[in-house]
Amino acid sequence: MRTIAVLVAIIVLSVSWIGSRAESAADIAPGRIVDTSEHDYTYEEMLDDLEQLAVRYPDYIRWSVADTSLEGRGIPIVRLGRDDAPCHMMIQATMHAREHMSTHLVMVMIEGTAWKRMHGVSHEGLRIYDILDKIQLTVLPMVNPDGVEICQRGAEGCRLDETRRWVEEMAARGVSHRLIKSNARGVDLNRNFTNGHGRAFNAVRSKHFYHYPGHQPLTEPEVKAMMQTLIQRPYDLCLNYHTSGNIVYYGCGNAPDSVNSRARRMARVIGKRTRYPLYGPEVSERPNGSWADEVELNFGVPSATVELGSRNPVPQRELSGLLRRNGETWLDLILDIERSKGITVN
Ligand SMILES: [Zn+2]
């Protein structure tokens, strides 16, 4: 009798454990592909995970190389869902090298989304399969792979002699490779776009680990990869992951009100879920050549930027908490995009 009671208790506990796991994108099924343990999530690991994800979810995930970085690394582009979906969202992470925790988070969220779709999980009373059927997610999970390799491995992470010499020079001047935001040419990718290029308050004048916008806009291969991706779909939202602050930026100072108000609406959806405070164009820095400034003004696409974590670089131990807070935001945003376009999910 006691054995039966223990068995029943184990079964009940197991079912509720599976149930609670299924509710969170942060912590999905046993046998998951993307390792959520505290570690530096590397470029090679990401490529390996993408291979495996595409095999496990062949009807939902596919990936290819958008373009190659300065040092010749492929910049992956991931498509979730069908090309002819009525809605589109573009997600990018890790334009800034030392912010590679964002790639880790995005990769876990890609897997969580696919897993929940396959396993019939629901969100807000609707089947996730049906919610995702109306949208394609286009994800650039690591825009700046050269910078990430430098950040994580120093001079050993460089493929080109010129890059290696530069990293060694910076080290000799006491600048740790762990601080790098730029790409392998010392250009801050998130300052290399056209709208307000070179106007950042903290811009530097030459090649540097951070804040050098380049001698003119759109010079960097990684930036060109983003622009190519941008023109391929009529995106309803560009969602961006950076670190740090646990806040959300949205909009752009010189973009039309109609675009900023859509961005505000999206930011509120994120804020409602994560409890992160919101900062709009009224209080943010003026346009300074960032990706958000580009997509809002020149393409009319609303932009929301989530700044993850308490400080830079984000301590590894914060990953699980970040996943808990952010894990459901894609589904919230997708539902809001679909509803705002009058698309019924049932
Ligand atoms: Zn950043």
What distance in Å separates the CA atoms of residue 326 and residue 321, rounded to the nearest whole number? 9
Using alpha carbons, select from 223, 224, 73 the residue that is nearest to residue 163. Answer: 73
What distance in Å separates the CA atoms of residue 100 and residue 240, rounded to the nearest whole number? 13
How many angstroms does the Cα of residue 18 sit away from the middle of ligand 1?
A: 35
How many angstroms does the Cα of residue 257 sit away from the middle of ligand 1?
A: 25
Name the burial class of residue 24, with classes exposed (0-12), middle (13-18) and buried (19+) by CB atoms within 10 angstroms of its CB: middle
What's the pLDDT tens digit per position in 273-331? 999 999 999 998 899 999 999 999 999 999 999 999 999 999 999 999 999 999 999 99
According to DSSP, the residues that pair with 74 across neighbouring strands are: 68
How many angstroms does the Cα of residue 170 sit away from the middle of ligand 1?
A: 20
According to DSSP, the residues that pair with 93 across neighbouring strands are: 241
Quote the pTM value.
0.91
DSSP codes joined into one string, 198-245: T--TT--SSS-SS----SSTT-SHHHHHHHHHHTTS--SEEEEEEESS
How many angstroms does the Cα of residue 168 sit away from the middle of ligand 1?
A: 23
5: pLDDT strictly greater than 50: no
Distances (CA, A) of 42 to 37, 275, 320: 13, 29, 18
Q: How many CA atoms lie within 13 A of 265 on its CB side?
A: 17
161: pLDDT strictly greater than 80: yes
At residue 31, the pLDDT reads 78
According to DSSP, the residues that pair with 89 across neighbouring strands are: 137, 237
How many angstroms does the Cα of residue 258 sit away from the middle of ligand 1?
A: 26
How many angstroms does the Cα of residue 269 sit away from the middle of ligand 1?
A: 21
Report the CATH fold assignment for 2-149+217-340: Aminopeptidase (3.40.630)
How many angstroms does the Cα of residue 260 sit away from the middle of ligand 1?
A: 21
> Percent of the chain scored above 90 by pLDDT?
88
* Structure confidence at residue 28 as a pLDDT band (50, 70, 90): low
What distance in Å separates the CA atoms of residue 322 and residue 153, rounded to the nearest whole number? 24
Q: Where are the domains of the chain?
A: 2-149+217-340
Antiparallel, parallel or unpaired: β 61-68 and 74-80: antiparallel
How many angstroms does the Cα of residue 95 sit away from the middle of ligand 1?
A: 6
What's the pLDDT tens digit per position in 65-109? 999 999 999 999 999 999 999 999 999 999 999 999 999 999 999
What's the pLDDT tens digit per position in 188-199? 999 999 999 999
Q: How many CA atoms lie within 13 A of 278 on its CB side?
A: 20
Mean pLDDT of the chain: 92
How many angstroms does the Cα of residue 343 sit away from the middle of ligand 1?
A: 33
At residue 7, the pLDDT reads 44
At residue 346, the pLDDT reads 79
Using alpha carbons, select from 302, 95, 298 the residue that is nearest to residue 195. Answer: 298
What's the pLDDT tens digit per position in 225-251? 999 999 999 999 999 999 999 999 999
How many angstroms does the Cα of residue 251 sit away from the middle of ligand 1?
A: 16
The whole-number average pLDDT for the span 250-264 is 97
* Structure confidence at residue 29 as a pLDDT band (50, 70, 90): low
What's the pLDDT tens digit per position in 98-113? 999 999 999 999 999 9
How many angstroms does the Cα of residue 118 sit away from the middle of ligand 1?
A: 33
